[in-house]
Structure formats: C-alpha cells, structure tokens
Amino acid sequence: MAELKKISEWFEQLPEKIKIRAIKNTPEWNKLTDQPSLKSAISIAFDWGSSPEGWDYWNQVLLFGSIKPNNFILILDIETTHASPNHGKIVEIGIVELDLSNGEKQIIFDEMTHEDGITASEVQNCWIIANSDMTVKDVQMSTNLRKLRPRVQAIFDFYPGGCTAFNNKFDFGYTESRGFSYQKKLPCPMLIAKPIVKALNKNGGIKNPNVNEAYQHFFPNTTYIEKHRGADDAFHEGDIVYELYKMGEFKLD
C-alpha cells in the first residue's frame, strides 16, 4: 500500500476523467493537500460529516493502494428484480478481480442492495427470489444503492484494464442506467464462448450458453451449479474468462 504518497501525487497518476470525479468527492481539497501522506489525508475525512460519499470513495481508494495494472480486470455480476432496467431494481452486486497473468481471483465487492421505490411485492414475485437462496428479508435489510455507489464507482475507476460480465449487455445496461461508468468495457465472454461451447436450444440450434453450460464445457469434472448470487457467480465466471483468455479468444484490445 502506497501510504507515503502525498494526495497530490495520487491525483497526478489518475486519468483525467477519474481525477475530476475524485476532486468532486473531495470537499476539503485544500486541507487534504497539506497532509504528508494519502493515509493521513483520508483519515481526516471522518470530519466530512456533510459528505459521506466523499469518505466512501476515498476509503475505497485507500484499500486499493494504487491503480491496478492492466493485467487485472473485473468480473461483474448483478442480480435484479426484472430483466429490464426500466422495470426492475438492482438487489445485489458482486465484483471479482481476475489476474490474467495467472488466473488468480478474489472477491472485492459482495453486497445486497435496494433502490428507491422498490416494493415488497416486486421482490417477493421476482425470479431471483424463486431461483436462489436470496430472501425478501435480505433485500429489506440491505444498504441503499445510493450509499454503495461511491465504493462501487471507485472500484470501476481503479481498474484501467477493464471490466466484463457474462452477458455484459445486461449487467452494463443496468449499471450504466443507474449512472455508473467504466474505464474500459471488455468483450462479452458469453458471446465469445457461444461457438466454442455449442450449447443447443430446443430446436437443435446453437444458443448463447448459460454459466453452467460454459463452466461444464471448460471444467467437465466439476459439479458446479450456478447459485445466481452476484459474487459467487462472478467468481466462477472469472474461471471461464481466464480459459477463453488462455485460448486467445478473450482479448483486451
């Protein structure tokens, strides 16, 4: 962790778009620049009583220590109450870091959430409640997405290597409709895997594989069954991405 870097040095290493957002989340900018290290600068953020989002953003920055090298990418998986972002709400976000140099993974975000306007009926009757171990109470007791937003955005900001998701049209569509942005959106592993896995639809045609079908193709001796939970799904989707990367099919450019 680069604790000895002054906060001004940190800002110099940030891409311009992220620097603008970081400054926006730093209401005590003049005070912070006088601190001898990033850690001491962030420690005074406890005084930002009127700006909890600024604290959440910079607390996540401190956990990272630095912007990640390009060989580290993110795997995103969200759970929602409806397939359409216009009719549903996000109820879980899972984010996994994947090191493409060796395939190592770690869960870096795993949170239930809810959005303003969500209803008990909407949750009770949604597909994810019926098809996973998620409960209505889990959603009721979760943190509002507004509170989680700074931490999640900081994660996207500090991985210039990019982010992907299995069926990324769905995950990116939902999150971008909620105001999240990405440094780099990587190709969709589901679409890349389609001609490799060759999963069949009921009419015998090749279809987009689901996570189970893709995982069983690359790891036929496992008994993995998709849990439909954000972080666990993303963790196993990372394995699929890494296999595609080693084959030369999943490309960063």
Poorest-pLDDT segment among 14-28, 108-122, 136-150, 216-230: 14-28
Average pLDDT over residues 145-149: 91
DSSP for the chain?
--TTS-HHHHHHHS-HHHHHHHHHT-TTHHHHTTSSSHHHHHHGGGG-TT-HHHHHHHHHHHHH-SPPPTTEEEEEEEEESSSSTTT--EEEEEEEEEETTT--EEEEEEEEEE-TT--HHHHHTSHHHHSSS--HHHHHTSEEHHHHHHHHHHHHHT-TT-EE-TTHHHHHHHHHHTT---S-BPPPHHHHHHHHH--B-TTS-B----HHHHHHHH-TT--------HHHHHHHHHHHHHHHHHTT-S---
Q: Between these two residues, 43 and 66, which has the higher pLDDT value?
A: 66
Mean pLDDT, residues 212-230 taken together? 96
Domains of the chain: 7-64 (no CATH), 72-246 (3.30.420.10)
